[in-house]
Amino acid sequence: MLLVHGFAASAEQWERLVYSLREQNTKDGKDTTPPVYAVDLLGFGHSEKPGLSYTQYLWESQIVDFSVEVMDATPMIMVGNSIGGGLSAGAAASLGKNICKGLVLSMEGNPNEPYSPVPILGGNGLDLFGTGIIKFIYPQIEQRLSLIYGNRIENADAAVTYAIQQSAMHPGSANVIGSGQKLAPNRPLNEVLLEIDGGFHVLVIKGLDDRVSSPNVARSRAELFARLNPEKVIVDSIEDAGHCPHDESPNKVARSMIKWLATLTEDSMTVKS
């Protein structure tokens, strides 16, 4: 299982979910959870922050490389939150169903966002823009987390706050944060999830009280996913969770994942020679 975090987050944000999975996914008293990997996307968390052009294409390539070089292309389930959901879907399309056996996504899912080109000032402009954003946002990190974790404010604890603050202070962070204004749209989800390689088995987990996009948008997107392909795309909506349901309601998300994993047939998980 490979876990992919969202923008400005880190691998540490998956800790509660992994704990819940291991606690609930047992047989005869033994933990039956498969090996779990959580990656820090380049530019976030404890990863390096070189002066690159940060786009979805870079991060998708990193996920593909990590899957092949670190996880040895072992058949896996890919789990992604927020932008990490779109990245996971794109990486899964590149890896194919022989490697990616299923997707668990909690994401915005809007393929129609307009593309904003690199500003006239180029990389220097991104650094200036990113520096300004960090200086403006840094004192507000705890306050903004209270919106993201509106239903479980106690989970926006000192460890989560410190992980974001620490990453924001690393050399090169300004360029990474500035890149948020020029990200291209993800691949169209109806193509990635349904048409490529016959479509993937997908579990979409939506926190309906998403105060980042708004609860109304969260509900409409949950309905959109539910209409994609009921045979392969399953939607589980959680009323008392928001933008990061895996960290706000880890027990509910773990329970949903375990139930969904049990529905995957042995044939769907078999590696083709």
- In which band, very low, low, confident or very high, does the pLDDT at 38 lie, cut at 50, 70 and 90? very high
- What are the residue ranges of helices labelled H in the chain? 15-24, 56-65, 83-95, 122-137, 141-148, 158-168, 173-178, 189-190, 215-228, 245-248, 250-263
Q: What is the mean pLDDT of residues 66-86?
A: 94
The reported pLDDT for the residue numbered 273 is 36
In the numeric block, the tokens 């650094």 are attached to: 127
What are the tens digits of pLDDT across the range 190-212?
777 776 667 789 999 999 999 88
3-state secondary structure string across 124-141: HHHHHHHHHHHHHHHHHH
The reported pLDDT for the residue numbered 23 is 94
**pLDDT above 90 as % of the chain:** 42
What are the tens digits of pLDDT across the range 78-132?
999 998 998 998 899 889 888 999 999 887 654 334 434 445 455 566 667 667 7
The reported pLDDT for the residue numbered 114 is 40
A 10 A CB-CB count for 7 gives 19
